[in-house]
Chains A and B, each alone.
Chain A
Amino acid sequence: MTTPSLSVIVPAKDQQSHLEDCLSSLVGQLAPDELEVIVIDDGSADATGAIARSYADRLPRMLVLRNEVPIGLASARNQGLDCAHGRYLAFLDGDDWLARGHLARMVSAISTLGVDFVRTDHVKSTNGERVVVRAPEARRNRPLDPRTSILPMTTSTMVDYCYAWAGIFDRRLGDLLRFPDGLFTAEDRSWAWRLHLEASSYAVAGPPGILYRRGVTSSLTQIYDRRQLDFLRAFDGVFMVVGGDRDADRWWPKAARMFLAVLAHHLGRLQRMSPRDRRDLVRGAARVADEIPAAVLHEGYLSCKPERQRLLRMALGSRVRRRVA
């Protein structure tokens, strides 16, 4: 068989309500033998696998992998990468879907520009209410050095826009595309940093062709799920990548601020956690914070608003109060 032009990796856990939209939107995006679709049924307890298999005739190069026990989004994507044959690679979550012609435009953008990867805007759809979300990089349709899209610290940049599904990637990126195994959340944080520090070229191209489905319940009203503590391990990964870079000093303030913002968000939800989760959050936060150079951590803390500082003191205490000579 010929090499497909593109492999789309679709992890799906308990997505029977939405997977049909997702897979239907893949039909007709590229010539049937140019598009390989890899669905990872990650321990679903519903009809996800059956729905995926029912697309076999419409997506002839589809592969459905099944994990009896869920391994999480990060590892499921890696599992897809392991068996992908495409010249280019892309990710799509099982509850999202694509605009017509999206993948053809992405393949054309990456092959014309000849860059390592292309990132794109998306459409957030909350019960039919659609908002276009722009990738935070204003230079469009031209090759860029990915390192020039990381700063400044104070505004949202391409490392904050960490959506693996909003882009297309050349397979020559190899291991740079792999996600930290075992993470159930925040898996794209260190992934985005690594990509922007270590790849040599990229571009941002529109129009927005990915429909990102959001429910109405905000995360704040949900019961805290212990797996969300995975963000701590995700930042271990970010700090390892940042700390090992030749320009580490330039990136540390941004990485630290990102961590403090996410940490404060979790600390704001302490009430919804079990005592065990609370303890693990506070201990874990202190451990991860110790990876940040002390002066950077202190500066980062000082740049926060008082309400956020109050939350951070609950976990980081003396670490952030201490004066640095």
Chain B
Amino acid sequence: MKQLVVASTSYQCLSLAAAAEAGVLPDADERVLVLATSSQVPELSADLQDQQGFARVAARFDRVVDLAALLYPRRPVQFAPRDVEVLTWQRLLRSHWGLDDDRIQILMDSVQVNPALALARIFDEADLYAHSDGLMTYSPTRKQLPRQLGQRLVGLVCVDLVPGLSPKLLTEEAVTHLIVPADSVRQLIKEVAEVGDGSGPTAHDDRPTALILGQYLSSLQLLTRQQESELHRRMIVEAATRGAAVCRFKPHPSSPPTMILDLTEQAERLGIELVVDASTEIAEITMCRSRPRWVISCFSTGLATARYLLGIEAVAVGTRDLLTSLSPYQNSNRVPLVLAELLFTDRMIDDRRFLAPDEIEDPDPRLDLQRLVDAVAYCMQPTLLPQASGPAAEYLTLIGDRPELLSTVFRRRRLTALGLPGSLPQPSPMARLSQRLTGGIRRLSGGPSRSAP
């Protein structure tokens, strides 16, 4: 058995190495790390194998091969061989990567997206495992897997990021969960951080420091450039309010230089020292080495890593606004946003905070994060998770006295559409009749008609 472990980011390489180290990955005679960078502009970013500490990561695998280099100048995400060619691709990759005639297993992140999908098609007899290391692990699957993929999917490898919270991703496929203990990821982060090439910041500065993690949300069309600039300003204000003397800003690797220019101006106006961290090291390593007092972001996975893996205070800014504007309800950023809102802001019920499942001893059922996430997942993907309908209704009844949760985390209109507790009041029969009449008259008079319900 030969195992292909496909990684598209530096942090994935690290968390998968931690999984291998912890003995979580399925057994294999040979474990091959397949590099498939997701970088939009690989010419300008460091190759995954050139990231600091990569040797420590690679040491957890038997071999490393580079799929991105094979496909260059096209990007791995564009790798989509034609059906009639996949067998040829299999023969070529088997000889190129020295896979002989062995059975193959593939571990991949986005099963439905290339290059993972392409590799699944090429190695058509391979068992498939998904892996996930971020807050998306707790989000339901965006779109049901085609049958021919679902049938082959055996397990999900995921990091126990929010302690004790069970993954929602791919639950509809009834996969086995292979949980990577947070401690093994923490150990490897520390090990890699110690290798350090000196390019990143260190903890020499004794002044209270806040590390801001940029997410480049405007590239995801979640915010406009102006809104994102305003969000960054609020993060700096938050840092200042908490007593930070220095703000370190770690831009998203693909964010444009003008965004940083904006931010520098904002900080100057607020009289705060802002240092832009231009190093290529990943945020997790920076946090571990420089030990900031606070990590501030909107809903970056880095917040959870800071809080639960590295024990640094995590602060989410702007989640409430984004939760109300995020559309449609099934947008898969919703669960990470909900988690950031509940775990890393001052959101409380009766002066008690939401906590990770493993941190709670005697829970107020309303503060049961697992039940809440399950209910949100049901509201996002009701057809994929029909069995979650009853528990969702029960939980929503429990929080019937918390209108702010119903309207931000759940959204009233969604609850109404699904006929769940917390729905908006139904219009009376007379009101509905009058609406229909007005619609009819408008249509007859050639005016704008109402869209179909």
Q: Which residues of A contact B (CB under 8 A)?
A: 16-17, 20-21, 24-25, 47, 51, 97-100, 123, 128-132, 207-208, 211
Contact = CB atoms under 8 A, between A and B. Distances in A.
Given A21-B41, A130-B78, A99 B73 contact: yes
A47 B258 contact: yes
Contacts of B258: 16-17, 47
B43 A130 contact: no
Contacts of A208: 73
Given A16-B258, A20-B257, A130-B78, 19 more contacts: A16-B257, A17-B258, A21-B41, A21-B44, A24-B44, A25-B43, A25-B44, A47-B258, A47-B261, A51-B257, A97-B41, A99-B43, A99-B72, A99-B73, A100-B43, A123-B73, A123-B74, A132-B73, A132-B74
Nearest to B47: A100
B414 interface: no
A58 B293 CA distance: 33
A179 B173 CA distance: 62
Nearest to A100: B43
B327 interface: no
Contact of B44 (A47, A97, A128): A97
A310 to B, nearest CB: 36
A128 B257 contact: no
Contacts of B72: 99
Interface in B308-347: none
Nearest to B74: A130
Contact of B75 (A16, A24, A130, A207): A130
A51 B75 CA distance: 28
A97 B40 CA distance: 13
The 9 closest A-B pairs by CB, nearest first: A20-B257, A123-B73, A130-B74, A128-B40, A24-B44, A17-B256, A99-B43, A16-B258, A25-B43
B256 A211 contact: no
B257 A130 contact: no
A225 B41 CA distance: 31
A143 to B, nearest CB: 26
Interface in B28-85: 40-41, 43-44, 72-75, 77-78
What is the interface residue range for chain B against chain A?
Answer: 10 to 19
B66 to A, nearest CB: 14
A220 B95 CA distance: 47
Nearest to B260: A20
Nearest to A210: B73
A99 B74 CA distance: 12
Interface in B246-264: 256-258, 261
Contacts of A17: 256, 258
B48 to A, nearest CB: 15
Contact of A20 (B43, B78, B256): B256
5 contacts: A16-B257, A25-B43, A97-B44, A99-B43, A131-B74
B171 to A, nearest CB: 31
* Most chain A CB inside 10 Å of its own CB: which residue of B40, B77, B78, B257: B257
A132 B72 CA distance: 10
Given A47-B258, A51-B257, A97 B74 contact: no
Contacts of B75: 128, 130
Interface string B4-42: 000000000000000000000000000000000000110
Contacts of B256: 17, 20
**Among B44, B77, B258, B261: residue with most chain A CB under 10 A:** B44
A24 B257 CA distance: 12
Contacts of B77: 128
A207 to B, nearest CB: 8
Nearest to B256: A17
A128 B76 CA distance: 11
Nearest to A130: B74
A130 B78 CA distance: 8
Contacts of B43: 25, 97-100, 211
Nearest to A19: B257
Contacts of B78: 129-130
B73 A130 contact: yes
Contacts of B73: 99, 123, 130, 132, 207-208, 211
B115 to A, nearest CB: 14
Nearest to A24: B44
